[in-house]
């Protein structure tokens, strides 16, 4: 009888452990989904598809840039979800044929994500689809990335960056890849 009692207690303990671990997993997933939401999902999926981008990457860029605050404005004047600067916004709006564009249009999630995705697609072509270079250019400027590629302190081969000299840009690239991995683990698209 003692052996049966021990087995019953072990079974109950195992069941409690499974329930507790399940609750911990569910709450951590719930917490992570709150921290890494999929706001503006339809817009992001539409434009990431239109511009042949990985939607997880677009979610990650938005998370890093604005935490999904469509009214966000940086101290440098970048606006909206994807933090587009007005000069890039005007240039892209002209290329895309967006009529009645003004700088405040960048606060419109549809326009902002369309321009942001178009711009990432443009950078992908410019930098031979090297997404590290694309992200560095998105944050630090394509002219700076070209300079860094031509400087042996930052690039050994002129094609990839061994070091990003702007800390803000290096941190941006690292944070986007971290958020990208989170989005891929949390959601299936």
SS3 state at 51: coil
Q: Residue 11 — very low, low, confident or very high, per pLDDT cuts 50/70/90?
A: confident
Averaged pLDDT for residues 111-132: 98
Averaged pLDDT for residues 29-49: 95
Q: d(Cα 184, Cα 26) in Å, to the nearest integer?
A: 17
More confident residue, 130 or 6: 130
Query: Residue 22 pLDDT more than 70?
Result: no
CA-nearest of 158, 161, 91 to 131 is 161
SS3 state at 123: helix
Q: Residue 26 — very low, low, confident or very high, per pLDDT cuts 50/70/90?
A: low
Answer yes or no: 129 catalytic: no
Longest Cα pair distance anywhere in the chain, in angstroms?
A: 83
Query: pTM value?
Result: 0.86
The distance of Cα 118 from the centroid of its chain, to the nearest Å, equals 15
Averaged pLDDT for residues 1-29: 73
Q: Residue 20 — very low, low, confident or very high, per pLDDT cuts 50/70/90?
A: low
More confident residue, 148 or 189: 148
Which of the residues 50, 52, 65, 99 is marked catalytic? Answer: 65
The region that residue 42 occupies, defined by phi over 0 for left and psi between -120 and 50 for alpha, beta otherwise, is alpha
Query: Residue 27 pLDDT more than 80?
Result: no
More confident residue, 9 or 55: 55
């Amino acid at each position: 009888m003692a052996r049966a009692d021990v087995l019953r207690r072990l079974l109950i303990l195992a069941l409690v452990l499974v329930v507790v671990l399940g609750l911990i997993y569910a709450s951590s997933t719930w917490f992570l989904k709150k921290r890494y939401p999929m706001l503006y999902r339809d817009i992001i999926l539409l434009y990431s598809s239109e511009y042949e981008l990985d939607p997880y990457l677009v979610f990650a860029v938005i998370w890093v840039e604005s935490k999904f605050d469509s009214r966000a404005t940086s101290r440098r004047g970048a606006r909206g979800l994807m933090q587009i600067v007005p000069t890039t916004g005007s240039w892209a709006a002209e290329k895309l044929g967006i009529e009645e564009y003004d700088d405040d249009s960048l606060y419109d999630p549809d326009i902002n994500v369309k321009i942001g995705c178009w711009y990432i697609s443009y950078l992908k072509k410019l930098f031979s689809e090297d997404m590290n270079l694309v992200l560095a250019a998105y944050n630090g400027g394509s002219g700076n990335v070209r300079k860094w590629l031509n400087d042996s302190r930052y690039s050994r081969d002129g094609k990839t960056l061994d070091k990003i000299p702007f800390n803000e840009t290096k941190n941006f690239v690292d944070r986007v890849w971290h958020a990208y991995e989170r989005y891929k683990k949390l959601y299936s698209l």
